[in-house]
Chain A
Amino acid sequence: MLRCGYALFWLLGSVLLICVVSPVKGEAVVTREGSHLKLSESSHSNESQHGHSSNITGIPIISFKWHHVETPYLVAFWVLVSFLGKLVIEANHHVTSVIPESALLICFGFILGGMIWAADKVQTFRLTPTVFFFYLLPQVILDAGYHMPNKLFFTNLGGILVHAVIGTCWNAASLGLSLWGCQMGGAMGDLDIGLLQYLLFGSLMAAVDPVAVIAVFEQVHVNDVLFIMVFGESLLNDGVTVVLFNVFDAFVSLGGPKIDAAEIIKGIVSFFVVAFGGSLVGLVFGLLISLLTRCTKNIQIIEPGFIFVLGYLSYLTAEMLSLSAILSIVFCGMCCQKYINANMDENSVQTVRYAMKAFANGSETIIFVFLGISAIDKVIWVWNTGFILLTLLFVLVYRFIGVFFLTWILNRYRLVPLEFVDQVIMSYGGLRGAVAYGLAVMLDENKIKEKNLMVCTTLIVVYFTVILQGITMKPLVMWLKVKRAAVTEVSLLEKLTNKMFNHTLVAIEDISGQIGHNYMRSKWKYFEENWMSWILMKPSARKKQDQVFDVFHQLNLKDAMEYVTEGERRGSLEFVRNENSIIDFKKKSESESFDINNANMSNDHGAMSTTSRDPIPSVSLEMHEQIMKAVREAEAINAHHLLDQHLYKSRKQHRHRFSRSHFDINRDEKEVQEIFQRTMRNRLKSFTSAKMGVKPPKTIVKHTQKEQQQKMPNGKSMDKAKTSYSGDEGPNSVSFVHPAGIENPAFMPDLDPMDLLQIPPWLGESELDSSMVALSHRAQVDLPRTPSNLRRLAPLRISTRSTDSFTLENIPDTQQMDTQEEFLQSKLTT
């Protein structure tokens, strides 16, 4: 309450200051009416007063140089006022949960506007198109593009495009025509608006506004598909709006008779040019940003600056070429997200994200406040009941009709059809906002006599949609029980079942030899990975991404192949039903690692293995080769085991939540890290005691397990789970019997503390699936299935091999282990 009180005090103070300040400019105000180009006074008054001050009589100790700082002062001041307004509004959550923030900001704008008008009798401050389109809108859209969930967007791109293009055209045409029809029918009294002007009005009214959509939908978390449809549409329809507006504007200027087929065709062509041209410009700038961030290692402090500047330039460039500026900046943001995250330093990435959110949020606040202020202006207040009410009605009705019709068509081609409820929300969520107002103000009043009426109507429609529809959106959603975005943690059973199904689907896809809709995507991925990443990503970032995956895949596939050939050799059925056959596989994998480290040992081990066939051909007995290969292969094996645990992704869709004010950090990696650290500590404890007594692995395994169970009576360890795996009998019993004792966790901690804090860079990416692991066959068999084996790396192999040496020769080979451990650690930490 106290804070609220302070805020109110400040607010009051600031408002009073406005009222004090404005009379000072009283004279200049009158001259200002004509110019729409500045937020503050025209320079006219500046100069006159400035000249005034040069006639001084004595030396002023202090002088009030208002005009010196006028423009920047007012700008900063208004920003401050808007933010203070937001502060006041957000003070009480009960209010904001009912009424969306945007509506409250508009109301706040009303109040402010009223005060100013009362002081000045004229609206001194208004949302002018220049300020809006050049200074306030770009950052909002850049933020939208940068945080756009690309996968979701492109999956639904067809639907989004249909709605954006066809829907907007339909809205514009239907609105314009019906209004004109009504005028013909005399419902609106005596208005001097021609058909073309109606169409122009329709085109500026038709566009769903991204700012408003974000603002309202953020409070109502609807499901992803619904959100992306509306949001994507609101972004992409700018292409159409710009074209329609310019075309009809040109038509209005040309006048009726001059419009023939050629002009119309030119109009259609211009649509394609504007839309694709704008996107292309954005793409070019996005690539430029990615290239730049590749080289900015030495100036990490101002790295984020590049993104903002280039994003803004893309906007301005498109505007300059009369292409769609919004499309340009959206695609710029969408294109560069991935490469920026890969190339830039972690801190820079965070800075960019945070700064973008800050700017976007700030701009939005200012936009809404000024939307409110602009209303209180007698000049534009031309009331025509018929026109206004009919516009409102038509806007709503045609939106519904358009959405339902288009969705009906779309659903015939969609895998997951949009339900009725979703469609209702989509229609209801077609909010108009500041873009429409900006366009309306940009109308030329010489050509369009009734400009003020149009501006007024636009404002009323904007208020209606933002305030009324905003307020009623949430209850509507709840009432209709729209499938909300899953805010809660899904239960274990759900997670399990989801994963099951994902794996099943992937398996069936592989069996049937096609990847369904993702054929294009796999082609794109191939292109992207081999060409674009190569050019646009820093070599180090690329290496982390690609090579490890490649190695993983290669090794895994190699394993899989060997698995299969092994099975074939031994007889088919046994292979699947009999879990014991997995032993061989395990042995084989060990032999692989043996090559790397010590050929002799593997030889012995080969002799030891009872049920395997000949050791793999790749086992080479020459130390030379081994050591040469060892460097690369060690890394490869490290990576392999690392990835084994983590990265078999079941091609699940990443669950996304777009928000203006928060951004999610991938929580799972923290959990993973935390669990890992915890269990490592436990292991360390158990390890130190286990190391003391060296026994044959069989007992060692059991010993440590028992120990751990004793040590952690709170049941924290996953070993409990391991021992109680009554399920897959095979691997478990085998693992206990197997001489290699691979499941010996005791030797892990010795080497792993070094890697406690190493997070693979790919885990840092926010795009990562929340489900990270599905253990491959091999992983399940080879390594303990406890979550603690998160960062198991080749050192484990070494240690298990040394346990082999224990069994074979019963010597605690700790020294050998240490040297190898060092060797590998040095490899890991490079």
Chain B
Amino acid sequence: MGSRASRLLREEEIEEIKKETGFSHSQITRLYSRFTSLDKGENGTLSREDFQRIPELAINPLGDRIINAFFPEGEDQVNFRGFMRTLAHFRPIEDNEKNKNPATEPLNSRTNKLLFAFRLYDLDRDDKISRDELLQVLEKVDVEQKMSIRFLH
């Protein structure tokens, strides 16, 4: 597994990913081996089924949304870069430099994390969370067995 990983993932790529996402070298290698283990088709990309093959994900109420979050708009395959890019949102926050420009903020900044979470709600990607979308989430997450849903009506 290790040798396979290093064969398929070149040093330059690792460097690029490191710069883009902030993961360390060992983390990237580890995640690459995970990526390849998920990739049953061995074509260097993951499809949705590959994700769904993870059993715990299938029973997670937000599973399909999370999976969607990995795939950019309209595509069905995600390569390793995209995989890492999404995962980079979940690194701990480093509040070293405060950038005013959201475009240049690292992927794991607060803003980008919130953006990610926002996209989980916003299914139709219109940059707004409609009431329906919120309700959908409520149902999926099934907040409490209280009559909480009732209060929304």
Interface residue ranges, A against B (CB under 8 Å): 415, 492, 495-496, 499-501, 503-508, 510-514, 556-557, 559-561, 563-564, 567-568, 572-573, 575-576, 648, 668, 671-672, 675-676, 715-716, 718, 720-721, 724-728, 771-778, 780, 785, 787, 790
Contacts and interface: CB of A to CB of B under 8 A. Distances in A.
Nearest to A675: B145
A678 B57 CA distance: 34
Given A415-B92, A560-B55, A564-B49, A504 B147 contact: no
Interface on chain B toward A: helix, strand, loop, or mixed SS?
Answer: helix
A599 to B, nearest CB: 28
A510 B54 contact: yes
A511 B62 contact: no
Nearest to A772: B145
A576 B67 contact: yes
B60 A576 contact: no
A505 B54 CA distance: 15
A727 B67 contact: no
Given A505-B90, A773-B142, A510 B60 contact: yes
A720 B48 CA distance: 35
A500 B117 contact: yes
Contact of B136 (A415, A727, A787): A727
A498 to B, nearest CB: 9
B34 A513 contact: yes
A508 B62 contact: no
B132 A727 contact: yes
Best-surrounded residue of B68, B90, B140, B142 (most CB of chain A within 10 A):
B142
Which 9 residue pairs spanning A and B have beta carbons closest together? A560-B58, A727-B136, A787-B145, A721-B149, A507-B66, A513-B34, A503-B62, A510-B56, A776-B59
Contact of A496 (B37, B58, B137): B137
Nearest to B87: A512
Contact of B47 (A557, A572, A675, A721): A572
Contacts of A564: 49, 52-53, 58
A567 B135 contact: no
30 contacts: A415-B92, A499-B143, A503-B61, A507-B57, A508-B87, A510-B57, A511-B54, A511-B57, A511-B87, A513-B34, A557-B59, A560-B55, A561-B55, A564-B52, A572-B49, A573-B48, A648-B61, A668-B144, A721-B149, A721-B150, A721-B153, A727-B136, A728-B136, A773-B144, A776-B60, A776-B61, A777-B63, A780-B61, A785-B139, A785-B142
B8 interface: no
Interface residues of B, number: 52
B139 A780 contact: yes
B141 interface: yes
Contact of B117 (A504, A510, A567, A672): A504
Contact of B48 (A511, A557, A560, A572): A572
Interface in B116-153: 117, 120-121, 132-133, 135-151, 153
Interface string B63-84: 1101110000000100000000
A112 to B, nearest CB: 51
A511 B136 CA distance: 23
B150 A718 contact: yes
B5 interface: no
A653 to B, nearest CB: 17
A157 B149 CA distance: 40
Given A572-B76, A775-B61, A777-B63, A506 B56 contact: yes
A508 B146 CA distance: 28
Best-surrounded residue of B56, B61, B120, B139 (most CB of chain A within 10 A):
B61
B135 A720 contact: no
B62 A507 contact: yes
Contacts of B68: 576
Interface on chain A toward B: helix, strand, loop, or mixed SS?
Answer: helix
Contacts of B54: 510-511
Contacts of B146: 671, 675, 787
B58 A501 contact: no
B9 interface: no
Given A721-B149, A727-B132, A787-B146, A775 B52 contact: no
A511 B64 contact: no
Contacts of A559: 58-59
Given A415-B92, A572-B48, A500 B145 contact: no
B61 A672 contact: no
Contacts of A501: 117
Contacts of A557: 55, 59
B29 to A, nearest CB: 13
A503 B144 contact: no
Contacts of A512: 31, 34, 87
A775 B63 CA distance: 12
Contact of A725 (B87, B121, B135, B142): B135
Contacts of A415: 92
Contacts of A510: 54, 56-57, 60
Contacts of B49: 564, 567-568, 572, 575
B64 A576 contact: yes
Nearest to A576: B64
A513 B33 CA distance: 10
A725 B117 contact: no
Nearest to A505: B90
Contacts of B67: 576
Nearest to B144: A495
A783 B144 CA distance: 16
Contacts of A725: 135, 139
B142 A504 contact: no
Contacts of B34: 512-514
Best-surrounded residue of B34, B67, B76, B143 (most CB of chain A within 10 A):
B143
Nearest to B141: A499
B61 A774 contact: yes
Given A720-B150, A721-B153, A511 B66 contact: yes
